[in-house]
Chain A
Amino acid sequence: MPTRNTSPAVRPEESGRAVEGGTKRERARHGAARRRGRSERFAPYVLIAPAVLIIVALRLYPLALGVNFSFTGDGDANGTAVGLANYLELLDDPLFQTALANVGLLVLLLPVAVAIPGLLATFIYLKVPGHRFFRSVYFFPAVLSPVIVGAIFNLMLSFDGPLNELLGTIGLGPVDWLGDPGVAKFAVVGVQIWATFGMALVVFLAGFATLDASLLDAARVDGASLRQSIWHVIIPSLSQTIQFVFVTTMIGMLTSMFGLLYVMTSGGPEGSTYLPEYYIWIQQGQMNRPALASAASTVLFLIMLVVGLLQISVLRRAGRED
């Protein structure tokens, strides 16, 4: 019986140590807690201070500074107040007008850019053959830089490039994809949709994961067609996801096409592919007109605010009718 012999011999010693140590530790803990109470009251502020400092100094302060800039002059008039002169100049500038018109075009194309990934996500959710493979392939371009996407499509869409050669074999074209002012903006938007539909697709699939599958089953038992199921079950259940995709796709179109424009068209031909972000870049970087660029920035900010709020309210109303 070695276990019985050893255990009583050890236990008192252990417990004795534990009691003694416990009181010491407790006393130490009280002392530490009192000290900690003072020094640690500020701990949350210490933890958050670096993040707050950086965000305030390099995001919020520049926003205020930029709005302020936009009411001052450029060049000789640097720093002096000029009222709304920059904004009036913007409205008169044909390049900025084109940029705004192109924003309008993007807003019109937005439903397409949301519907395509929505429909594809529906099919993937319904487990079309190869759905896992499709999901992986469709999502990949979304993680590539617009610069790489733009460079690849520079090759694909050049006048003597592969796409025109392909069209030639079936007796079409050639089309000057990036050189024709009427075509280039659609080519660039098409590439943007090619590059980003996978992002929206993944968001839709996350929405589908929260969808109550029994609703769809019930609809099918009642003899609903796929179109009826999408219209009466999927869209109402996913209204929040759809709203999110609308807003993020619009923000993406307004703020992440710079790389594409810079590589594919440089705003050309004849300024036809200008967007506000490209206009800001040109005025700041090439034309040395920071105040004018700031005014354009402020306009872009307002556009994004209005578009975002408008979409949310429109979608809310549409949701209520259902």
Chain B
Amino acid sequence: MRRVAKWVVAVPMAILALATIYPLIFTANVAMKTRREYVLDRFSLTESLHWENIATAWNSVGMARYFANSLFVVAASVFLLLWLGSMAGFALSRLPFRGSKALFIGCLAALFIPFQVIMVPLSRVMADTGLIDTYPGLILAYVAQFLPFTVFLMTSYYRSVPREIVDAARIDGNTVYGVYRRIMVPIGRPALLSVGILDALFCWNDVLIALLMMPSADHRTLMVGVTSLRGQYTDNIPTFASGVLIAAVPVLLVYLFLQRQIADGVTAGSTKG
């Protein structure tokens, strides 16, 4: 492409970038306005930062509680996913055993079962085992949902680890479990980080599984809390926007610092699959 042509293309791309980012800036701006300011002119920059909107959403709307619920569920789910996923990935990639290939294919097949297809029977299973509307139930549902993906990526990452490293550690007198703990976990750190961030985003952003597994109000996760804002604050847009902002800021922070790891995780499936 010639130089001039590149600048010509850059103009619509800049407009698209603006269209991508403007809705977020608009929402953040509205969250800092008073109701009166919003009604008079929704586009103008807010005259002063009205943090009390955030405080209202955080305290009286219950976002604080939902935030804590989400944080706990996501942390527990991601911990379990990485633990179980890396153990399974180690076994599938570096330990020869009977049935290993069949198990890997079964795991791949499970990757292609969308939640919508199993949500009715799964909620029946959860109800029968008394796990519905409990934190362990929701955490298990998340682990089950994202485990095939986690196992798949950890397996393909561990396949790139030279066999000699595992063999050498065995000759040095490590048990299989020792090799896992002392070699595979430290060596797998980049993949664990990348997969862990993606798993965390999936769990944090989910609404369908949380709606289904956690019917009672004080068990709501943050995303379910945001959906309930809609009905309550139709006439108080700044408070509504504040609630949305609270839910979006953690993701924004993760994105700003770990954008590359997120992209690595997303593309790992496309180049290896």
Bound CA span A146–B205, Å: 7
Give residues of chain B (110-131) contacting chain A, Cβ–Cβ below 8 Å: 110, 112-125
Contacts A143-B255, A145-B223, A207-B270: A65 and B124 contacting too (C-beta < 8 A)?
A: yes
Q: How many B residues, CB 8 Å from partner?
A: 94
Q: Mark A23-51, 1 if CB is under 8 A from B, else 0.
A: 00000010010001000100111011011
User: For the complex, would chain B's binding face be called helix, strand, loop or mixed by DSSP majority?
Assistant: helix
What chain A residues lie within 8 Å of B107 (beta carbons)?
A: 51, 55
* Contact among B1, B17, B144 for A226, CB-based, below 8 A: B1
* Contact among B10, B92, B211, B226 for A128, CB-based, below 8 A: B10
Q: Mark A277-314, 1 if CB is under 8 A from B, else 0.
A: 10011001100001001100110110010001000000
* Contact among B30, B121, B267 for A65, CB-based, below 8 A: B121
Q: Is the CB of A129 within 8 A of B7?
A: yes
Contacts A144-B205, A294-B121: A51 and B88 contacting too (C-beta < 8 A)?
A: yes
* Contact among A51, A69, A145 for B87, CB-based, below 8 A: A51
Distance to closest chain A CB from B23 (angstroms): 5
Q: Is B78 an interface residue (CB 8 A)?
A: no
What chain A residues lie within 8 Å of B85 (beta carbons)?
A: 51
* Contact among B21, B123, B263 for A284, CB-based, below 8 A: B123
What chain A residues lie within 8 Å of B14 (beta carbons)?
A: 130, 134
Bound CA span A137–B124, Å: 42
Q: Mark A243-260, 1 if CB is under 8 A from B, else 0.
A: 011001001001100110
Contacts A54-B147, A151-B240: A69 and B120 contacting too (C-beta < 8 A)?
A: yes
Q: Is the CB of B95 within 8 A of A66?
A: no
Q: Is B141 an interface residue (CB 8 A)?
A: yes
Q: Mark B94-114, 1 if CB is under 8 A from A, else 0.
A: 011100100100110010111
What chain A residues lie within 8 Å of B165 (beta carbons)?
A: none
Q: Mark B1-30, 1 if CB is under 8 A from A, else 0.
A: 100011101100110110111011011001
Q: Is A58 an interface residue (CB 8 A)?
A: yes
Q: Is the CB of B120 within 8 A of A162?
A: no
* Contact among B20, B118, B207 for A258, CB-based, below 8 A: B207
* Contact among B26, B144, B175, B248 for A156, CB-based, below 8 A: B26
Q: Is the CB of B120 within 8 A of A134?
A: no
Q: Is the CB of B248 within 8 A of A148?
A: yes
Contacts A55-B107, A147-B223: A152 and B23 contacting too (C-beta < 8 A)?
A: yes
Q: Is the CB of A255 within 8 A of B262?
A: no
What chain A residues lie within 8 Å of B103 (beta carbons)?
A: 48, 52
Q: Is B216 an interface residue (CB 8 A)?
A: no
Bound CA span A185–B17, Å: 24
Q: Is B173 an interface residue (CB 8 A)?
A: yes
Q: Is the CB of B241 within 8 A of A155?
A: yes
Give residues of chain A (205-248) contacting chain B, Cβ–Cβ below 8 Å: 205-207, 210, 226, 241, 244-245, 248
Q: Mark A118-137, 1 if CB is under 8 A from B, else 0.
A: 00100100111110011011
Distance to closest chain B CB from A216 (angstroms): 10
Q: Is B187 an interface residue (CB 8 A)?
A: no
Bound CA span A45–B90, Å: 11
What chain B residues lie within 8 Å of A187 (beta carbons)?
A: none
Q: Is A316 an interface residue (CB 8 A)?
A: no
Distance to closest chain B CB from A139 (angstroms): 7
Chain B residues packing against A (C-beta within 8 Å): 1, 5-7, 9-10, 13-14, 16-17, 19-21, 23-24, 26-27, 30, 42-43, 84-85, 87-88, 90-92, 95-97, 100, 103, 106-107, 110, 112-125, 140-141, 143-145, 147-148, 151, 173, 175-177, 180, 201, 204-208, 211-212, 223, 226-227, 229-230, 237, 240-241, 244, 247-248, 251-252, 254-255, 259, 262-263, 266-267, 269-271, 273
Q: A47-B176, A146-B205 are in contact. List 7 more A-B contacts (CB 8 A).
A: A43-B91, A48-B87, A50-B84, A51-B151, A254-B114, A259-B208, A301-B117
